[in-house]
Chain A
Amino acid sequence: MEKYSVFVAFAPHFKALARVAYFKIVSKDESNAKRMLYELYRFMMWFFILLYNIQHLIRVIQVRHSTEQLVDTLFILLTTLNCLGKQVAFNARSGRIHKIIETIQESTFAPTKPNHLDLLKKNAVSMSQILSFYQCGCLTCAALWTIFPFINRARGREVTFTGYLPFDTSVTSTFYLALAYMSVLITIQAFGHVTMDCTIVAFYAQAKVQIKMLRYNFEHFMDADEENIKIDTQITGTNYEQNTHKVNTNDIIIMTQKRLTNYVDHYEKIASFVKEVESIFSEAMIVQFFAMAWVICMTVYKIVSLSLLSVEFISMAMYLGCMLGQLFIYCYFGTKLKVESEFICQSVYCGDWLSLSPSFRRKLLVFMSYCSKPLALRTAYIIPMCLDTYIAVLKSSYSLFTFLNRN
Chain B
Amino acid sequence: MMTKVKTQGLVTDLMPNIKLMQAAGHFLFNYHSDNSGMSMLLRKVYSSVHAVLIVVNYVCMAINMAQYSDEVNELTANTITVLFFAHSVIKLLFFALNSKSFYRTLAIWNQSNSHPLFTESDARYHQLALTKMRRLLYCICGVTVLSVASWVTLTFFGESVRFIANKETNETMTEPAPRLPLKAWYPFNTMSGTMYIAAFALQIYWLLFSMAIANLLDVMFCSWLIFACEQLQHLKAIMKPLMELSASLDTYRPNTAELFRASSTEKSEKVPDPVDLDIRGIYSTQQDFGITLRGAGGKLQTFGQPTPNNPNGLTQKQEMLARSAIKYWVERHKHVVRLVASIGDTYGTALLFHMLISTITLTLLAYQATKIDGVNVYAFSTLGYLTYTLGQVFHFCIFGNRLIEESSSVMEAAYSCQWYDGSEEAKTFVQIVCQQCQKAMSISGAKFFTVSLDLFASVLGAVVTYFMVLVQLK
Contact = CB atoms under 8 A, between A and B. Distances in A.
Interface in A259-315: none
B428 A362 contact: yes
Contacts of A245: 296-298
Given A249-B291, A365-B428, A372-B435, A354 B447 contact: no
B424 interface: yes
Contact of A369 (B289, B435, B449): B435
Interface of A: 222-224, 228-229, 232, 245-247, 249-250, 252-253, 256, 335-336, 339, 342, 345-346, 349-350, 352-362, 364-365, 368-369, 372, 387, 391, 406
Interface in B359-414: none
B262 interface: no
Interface of B: 287-298, 301, 326-327, 330, 334, 337-338, 424-425, 427-429, 431-432, 435-436, 438-439, 444, 447-449, 473
A245 B432 CA distance: 31
B330 A354 contact: yes
B436 A222 contact: no
A345 B296 contact: no
Contact of A252 (B293, B295, B438, B449): B293
Contacts of B287: 249-250, 253
Interface centre among B288, B289, B326 (most CB of A within 10 A): B288
Given A245-B297, A350-B334, A365-B431, A387 B436 contact: no
Contact of A342 (B290, B427, B429, B439): B439
Main secondary structure on A side of the interface with B: helix
B216 to A, nearest CB: 29
Nearest to A371: B435
Given A224-B294, A252-B293, A357-B288, A365 B432 contact: yes
Contact of A358 (B338, B427, B439): B427
A229 B297 CA distance: 11
A350 B298 contact: no
A229 B447 CA distance: 41
Given A253-B287, A354-B327, A359-B288, A228 B296 contact: yes
19 contacts: A222-B294, A246-B298, A252-B291, A253-B288, A253-B291, A345-B435, A349-B436, A350-B337, A350-B338, A354-B326, A355-B293, A356-B288, A361-B432, A362-B428, A365-B435, A372-B435, A372-B438, A372-B439, A391-B449
Contacts of A256: 291
A247 B298 contact: yes
A357 B425 CA distance: 7
A356 B293 CA distance: 10
Contacts of A354: 326-327, 330, 429
Contacts of A252: 291, 293, 298
Contacts of B447: 335-336, 339, 387
B288 A360 contact: yes
Contacts of A364: 432
| 9 A-B pairs closest in CB distance | A357-B288, A224-B295, A358-B424, A361-B428, A224-B296, A245-B297, A355-B292, A349-B436, A358-B428
Contacts of A249: 287, 291, 301
A357 B289 contact: yes
Given A245-B298, A357-B288, 8 more contacts: A224-B296, A253-B287, A253-B291, A345-B436, A350-B337, A356-B288, A360-B288, A387-B448
B291 A368 contact: no
Contacts of B449: 391
B334 A223 contact: no
Interface centre among A336, A354, A369 (most CB of B within 10 A): A354
A228 B294 CA distance: 11
B435 A355 contact: no
A223 B295 contact: yes
Contacts of A387: 447-448
A359 B326 CA distance: 17
B428 A346 contact: no
Contacts of A362: 428, 431
A224 B298 CA distance: 10
Contact of B432 (A247, A353, A357, A359): A353
Contacts of A222: 292-294
Contacts of A345: 435-436, 438-439
B435 A368 contact: yes
A352 B294 contact: yes
A339 B445 CA distance: 13
A232 B298 CA distance: 12
A357 B295 contact: no
Contacts of B448: 387, 391
B203 to A, nearest CB: 32
Contacts of A250: 287
Contacts of A350: 334, 337-338
A346 B432 contact: no
A218 to B, nearest CB: 12
A254 to B, nearest CB: 11
A352 B298 CA distance: 14
Contact of B337 (A229, A232, A349, A352): A349
Nearest to B441: A346
Given A372-B435, A387-B448, A357 B291 contact: yes
Contacts of A361: 428-429, 431-432
Nearest to A359: B288
B337 A346 contact: yes
A355 B432 contact: no
B303 to A, nearest CB: 13
B408 to A, nearest CB: 13
Nearest to A246: B298
A247 B293 contact: yes
Contacts of B435: 345, 349, 365, 368-369, 372
A405 to B, nearest CB: 11
Nearest to B323: A354
Contacts of A352: 292, 294
Contacts of A224: 293-296
Contacts of A349: 334, 337, 432, 435-436
A278 B295 CA distance: 41
Contact of B290 (A336, A339, A355, A369): A355
Given A246-B298, A345-B436, A368-B436, A357 B290 contact: yes
B294 A223 contact: yes
Contact of A346 (B295, B296, B424, B436): B436
A253 B291 CA distance: 9
A280 to B, nearest CB: 25
A253 B448 CA distance: 43
Contacts of A223: 294-295
Nearest to B425: A358
Given A224-B295, A247-B298, A368 B432 contact: yes
Contacts of A391: 448-449
B64 to A, nearest CB: 21
Nearest to A255: B293
Nearest to B283: A359
Nearest to A391: B448
Interface centre among A245, A253, A361 (most CB of B within 10 A): A361
A50 B263 CA distance: 83
A353 B290 CA distance: 11
A352 B296 CA distance: 14
Given A349-B334, A406-B473, A356 B432 contact: no
B291 A355 contact: yes
Contacts of A355: 290-293
Contacts of B438: 345, 372
B124 to A, nearest CB: 25
A228 B438 CA distance: 34
Nearest to A368: B435
B430 to A, nearest CB: 11
A190 B296 CA distance: 56
A224 B424 CA distance: 26
A135 B153 CA distance: 56
